Chain A
Amino acid sequence: MENLVDSIKKIFTDENLELLIGFEKGTLPLCATPCFIESADAADRLIFDFTCHNNLAKYLNDEKKRKGNTRKVGIIAKGCDARAIIHLIAEEQFERENVVVIGVPCEGVIDPSKLRKTLKGKEITEYKVNGDRIKLIGNDFELELDRAKLLSDSCLTCRYPNAPQHDHFIGEKAEPLTVNDEYAAVIEFDGKSAEKRWAYFEKEFAKCIRCYACRNACPMCYCEECFVDRNTPQWIGKSNDLTDTMIFHIIRVLHTAGRCVDCGACARACPLDIDIRLLGKRVEKEVMERFDFTAGLDFETKPAMAAFDENDKDEFIM
């Protein structure tokens, strides 16, 4: 991305940042990696493109654990990352003035799971982008396809590619995709019978290896002690028995209700390419319909699950 490094260097100095969280080139093709910079000179390493798939907002939680809320932190934010930061601040996790949101235009990010599924066990040595197309090149094969086929599902229905609120913005704002219905996949799935839906989730979660990459990649999972780790009382078992695994994912989705910004980091982190997002997306739709609330759009609006309004629907109360 043009101007990224120079802009960051300027922002670093002007804002007196003590830490900047961004991305640098990774060791595998089509893979960027988070990068932590503590001086303006180090900004030379920074990049931003469609390989930058992690949600950096999560690192604000780590910063808080490590250094309290004391340093001034700049963070490069795609639309969803910025929404996560905004929501965390709305949940009073950080002081607003300690966080400098640096928006960047996002046109979608690569989903490593989709890449793995496309390559069917092979690996690439390089790639070439040609407009909407991408060519994947390995030692003895080449594969060309639409770039959109490798983008994260959350990107395909993204309505907030740019930070809704920001302290700085580098580059031209991206055009939101024309999304007819963000919840199309959820609605289609909802149309299936309960048995079919349960069977689908059983099939997906049977693969789960309980690595908690999904939970740890999520900016909203910042509890000191997660419910899966509690042993007095022991809420759920630790094995990868299907009942325990399903409970973990179901409860995690409920804990992120009204807080999830559908960045897709959970699904992208999963080493076994499980469909982690679907259940959460359904809950997101529920929150939207019941409370007319979308997480992470501005710093002031209280999160739906943390506030009460007299106009809230109450048909479930007898």
Chain B
Amino acid sequence: MKENSEITKGKTTEGTKNNYKYNLNPMKIYKLHKEKLGEFLQKLSEEFAVYAPVESDGVSAFIELEPGQEPALELTRTQRPPKEVFYPQTEIMLHFDKDEVQSTEYKGKPIAVFGVRPCDAKSFVIIERVFVEPKYDDTYWSARRNGALVFTLACNEPLQSCFCNWMNGGPFDNTGSDVLITDIGDEYLLEPISEDGEKYLAGNDILEKATEANVKAAQNVRKKAESSMSKAPKLDTLKETLDSLWNEPFWEEISAKCLGCAACTFSCPTCYCFDIQDESRRGKGARIRLWDTCQMPLFTKEGSGHNPRPTQKDRLRQRYMHKFSYMVETQDEFGCVGCGRCVSFCPVNIDVRSFITGILETAQNKRGRQ
């Protein structure tokens, strides 16, 4: 019986705001020489289905590694979000054949996600709070997530569009990780964060113990990465501010250029909304779950034809309110990990960062005028 999914073993937030957590505790860190990475992954794949960032046909995503395949760890961010490892875009839930209905959840090897970045590792925690809770367990998520190991690769080179530090995260955040990996040049340092991570690394004879000098190097890399990011504005009043600005004209202004596509929601690691569709032919078929987006009118259109979110302004407002206000109420945490994908992919350059700084400014001006 799955327990309350404030997920256990070091990945939890205990219901409090998830602040940027890094240890780099010299006592517990292992070291892996880069040329032994293939060996390490090969051993990992004996027990686990290993997913890692791979670029193929010009698109980078987390894909199950073929034997001997090298992951593209130099990519700071994959185009497709790694949530699809546990929550694929299209997943068959049930197969039916006349009156027989069968559930088709994942039954393969436990999954290991290797080389995911701290923002994306945190996103697993955020989504899990919705999908797994005492009353209802999302069977399909849990089938993939149970027994999974998350090997997070800390970011030495955050990108320009990254803003994890705005969202209480950081390039070396270990939230959601079983193991935190740091690239210090010729070697990777592997730090166990959770009990499962510790258990896995402990018996691994490909690894050595890291030296103090190694750990120092890691700390330097961390400091360099953190200082390369643009300073985060203070966001502790963001929720209250948003709540007070529901009817402000800026919503109309920002949403004017929005195309209403799903580029932001489908590339977002913390977006979890889905649709359920049935497809069948002559009594045989399937019930399928697919990613859905609140940015399209069909999302809330009712059978009567009435739509409570009729304009793009309503829908764009929903996205931002959900991520920066409603989820703060339900999870005590922003529903955004600052990965920067929406910033990078929005065809019309709607930038959530300028949205945030913009509304804080609007609120300040309003206060100034009062």
Contacts and interface: CB of A to CB of B under 8 A. Distances in A.
Chains A and B touch each other in the complex, with CB atoms below 8 Å apart: yes
Q: Give the residue among B257, B265, B347 with the most A Cβ atoms within 10 A.
A: B347
Contacts of B321: none
A59 interface: yes
A53 to B, nearest CB: 9
Interface in B298-348: 298, 311-312, 343-345, 347-348
B55 to A, nearest CB: 8
B95 interface: no
B345 A28 contact: no
B160 A124 contact: yes
Contact of A121 (B74, B90, B263, B354): B74
A239 B349 contact: no
A117 B157 contact: no
Contacts of B37: none
Interface in A39-89: 54, 58-59, 62, 66
Contacts of A54: 347-348
Contact of A27 (B58, B60, B261, B349): B349
A210 interface: yes
A272 interface: yes
B80 A238 contact: no
Interface string A6-36: 0000000000000000000011110111111
By size class, the interface of chain B is 35 or more
B298 A213 contact: no
Given A237-B277, A238-B277, A271-B345, A210 B262 contact: yes
Interface residues of A, number: 48
A217 interface: yes
B261 A211 contact: yes
Contacts of B345: 271
Which among B76, B159, B267 has the greatest number of chain A C-beta atoms within 10 A? Answer: B159
A93 interface: no
B89 interface: yes
A229 B263 contact: no
**Chain B contact surface mostly:** loop
Contact of B256 (A31, A32, A36, A112): A36
Interface in B269-303: 275, 277, 279, 288, 290, 293, 296, 298
Given A213-B259, A239-B90, A273 B58 contact: yes
A212 B296 CA distance: 10
B205 interface: no
A269 B259 contact: yes
Contacts of A213: 259, 261-263, 347
Contact of B253 (A36, A66, A216): A36
A123 B277 contact: no
B257 A59 contact: yes
A240 B290 contact: yes
Nearest to A211: B262
A199 to B, nearest CB: 12
Nearest to A207: B59
21 contacts: A27-B343, A27-B351, A27-B353, A27-B354, A33-B350, A34-B348, A54-B347, A139-B228, A204-B57, A206-B57, A210-B262, A211-B263, A215-B261, A216-B261, A217-B347, A229-B296, A229-B298, A239-B277, A240-B290, A271-B263, A271-B347
Interface of A: 26-29, 31-36, 54, 58-59, 62, 66, 112, 117, 121-125, 139-140, 203-204, 206-207, 209-213, 215-217, 229, 237-241, 265, 268-269, 271-273
Interface of B: 55, 57-60, 72, 74-77, 79-80, 89-90, 157, 159-161, 228, 253, 256-257, 259-263, 265-267, 275, 277, 279, 288, 290, 293, 296, 298, 311-312, 343-345, 347-351, 353-354
